[in-house]
Structure 1
């Protein structure tokens, strides 16, 4: 009986120590309350359905991987135009997001407020509820039309964790190249 008791105590202690030793991923929070991702999301892809200027009905897709060990859910993504000959206008009411990379077969996500700051040329997309770690999500942003001027347009993507005072992590640029449609009637 004594051996069984010692074995039970040893087993209980081993399990207890193992539970303590398993790392638990939590968000990094500074003394001032600022929340950071432990491992930030990654911009996987940025693409557009149409590359010609002045095209109506296009969509700009931004695919983001929120890693398992992010430490916090994804609350908000901002998309800021940093380069391009003209400001791109968006139909914010037609913004959508979904889990995965194709909205044909994937789960649609519920969005909170989607806003545009024309001065900073920044669109903010809020998730309600936030996106939990371990998911790939795609934001589909609809321009009113593609720009009128050809060239490279850079759209900077920044992710924010949940928290009243969250620190945005810059993920990179979506690079869109728009071309003049030389076959159109208004070009010689």
Structure 2
């Protein structure tokens, strides 16, 4: 092989290597799905791992509801916010928004506290929105702790729909499923029902 052919071959190899290095350095951000109108999607949506409560008796006070969400490594986007909306039911659960917290890990293994950018509620949709600041990166599990003023007055199954949103001006919410709480009678239901 003459020197000219060898030079062209080496030049081609070095350009190819540089191109591969450039592509691998942007691959994590290139995974995001963004439509031409600016709507941002998760590539692989977060998962609702579970929901639990510290007390399941009707009218119990000093209660915490936990919602655990995992953001997969291949999500393509971090988790910016989560909405938790109560499904139609006999009684509406009202939350003390100032007491809302979020942690890394699951309820049984709570880790570091995550900073929140805000917590708000919409009385029409009965949804609480928890915004993370900064957003939670893929590969993490987070647990949101909501504090109801009290458990519902009436026994029953209470469902809370959980939706996750990536960052962006037009994020597409991904519904993750329902957190289910079984609230049991404390024996005074008849008194409250017929008073």
Q: TM-score range by the shorter chain?
A: 0.7 to 0.9
Q: What is the distance in 2 between the residues matched to 1:183 and 1:160?
A: 40
Of 75, 78, 82, which residue of structure 2 is paired with 1:77? 82
**Larger displacement relative to structure 2 (102-111 or 87-96):** 102-111
**2:177 aligned with 1:169:** no
SS of the equivalent of 1:83 reads: coil
Of 120, 123, 130, which residue of structure 1 is paired with 2:135? 130
- The 5-angstrom pairing of residues 173-188 of structure 1 reads 173-182=178-187
Structure ranking higher in helix proportion: 2
**2:55 aligned with 1:33:** no
Residues 170, 163 of structure 1: alpha-carbon distance in 2 compared, 3 angstrom cutoff: same
Q: How many aligned positions are there?
A: 186
Q: What is the distance in 2 between the residues matched to 1:46 and 1:105?
A: 14
**2:77 aligned with 1:89:** no
Provide structure 1 residue ranges, at least 5 long, that are not aligned to the other structure.
none
Provide structure 2 residue ranges, at least 5 long, that are not aligned to the other structure.
none
1:67 aligned residue = 72
**2:51 aligned with 1:43:** no
Q: Confirm or deny: 8 A CA contact 1:150 1:178 kept in the other structure.
A: yes
TM-score for both structures, normalised by structure 2: 0.84
Superposition misfits of 4+ residues, deviation over 2 angstroms:
4-26, 102-105
Q: Confirm or deny: 8 A CA contact 2:104 2:143 kept in the other structure.
A: yes
TM-score for both structures, normalised by structure 1: 0.87
